[in-house]
Amino acid sequence: MTGIRMFATDLDGTLLRSDRTISERTALAMENARLAGIEVVWATARARHSVHTLARSCGFRGKAVCANGAVILDLADGTPRIVDTISIETSLAAMAMEQIRALIPGVVFANVGPTQFFAEPEYAALCDFSDHHRHLHEMVLADALPLDIEPMVKIVARHPHVPSADLYRTAVAAGIAGVELTHSGAPYLEMAAAGVSKASALAQLCAAEGIEPSQVAAAGDAFNDMAMLMWAGTALAPSNALSEILELADRVLPSHNDDGVASYLEELVAGQ
């Protein structure tokens, strides 16, 4: 395990336990990795505010790839400073949403900006707080999307009766133009700008720091981690990952509830 300079990890289902917390062991392992000269990067579908809350809970002060690669944050000073964003053009967003509405009648949408969340009322009515870590009053409701208020980094779509995994498979099979489709295991389909993924954001960070993909280890559990795992030199998956992800992994770690990421970081630091 020598030669690893960056460790990128998904959050939900990988770094976080089922109760969506970061254990003391995992927090310590991340800090020890940092002290050993290994950069730890969070790579998640989550939004800026949610990542900030998690970072404060465990003292994380590194970089975070958010919105499946569309937003890069630097938390070095304890605040979630936006380093870069890649937005979806409004015309392409409108076209993709129209295609999906025709493909799956009854689907409803929300558009995610770097700092704000815009939702159709029917979408908001289906949400629990845990879906986007926002209360209803923290959403901007609009009968018609998209809105030209803030750059759009992600589109999310859900249906009152069709499971999100089925939405994802149906949309992928149909070939929706102009956007990158993915699924994080959340109760909605996710879309970013074409070509945007956790892998593309990590490649950007590595290029700036002179790190080769072979010097990166990455851990993830869901479809939105596939590009990252295929790009990184070392692909890791917790034992609770989807079967498709387990097949990609160079190594299967203990589950997220058994601190699988922490165990790998501990070994990595000892090997260094």
- Confidence band for 24, pLDDT divided at 50, 70 and 90: very high
Residue 70 has pLDDT above 70, yes or no: yes
Instruction: Confirm whether pTM is higher than 0.75.
Output: yes
Q: What percent of the chain has pLDDT over 70?
A: 99
Per-residue pLDDT reduced to its tens digit, 41-50: 999 999 999 9
| CA atoms of 253 and 238, how far apart (whole Å) | 5
- Confidence band for 2, pLDDT divided at 50, 70 and 90: low
Domains and CATH numbers, the chain: 6-86+196-271 (3.40.50.1000), 90-193 (3.30.1240.10)
DSSP string covering 29-42 = HHHHHHHTTPEEEE
Residue 133 CA neighbour count, 13 Å, CB half? 15
> Mean of the pLDDT values across residues 146-150?
91
Residue 1 has pLDDT above 60, yes or no: no
Question: What element of type H or E holds 74?
Answer: strand 71-74
Per-residue pLDDT reduced to its tens digit, 201-256: 999 999 999 999 999 999 999 999 999 999 999 999 999 999 999 999 999 999 99
Arithmetic mean of pLDDT over the chain: 97
| CA atoms of 256 and 222, how far apart (whole Å) | 13
Phi, psi of 182 (to 5 degrees): -160, 175
Contact 4, 216 (CB under 8 A): yes
> Mean of the pLDDT values across residues 181-209?
97
User: Given this model, what pLDDT does residue 82 score?
Assistant: 97
Contact 30, 23 (CB under 8 A): no
Residue 272 has pLDDT above 90, yes or no: no
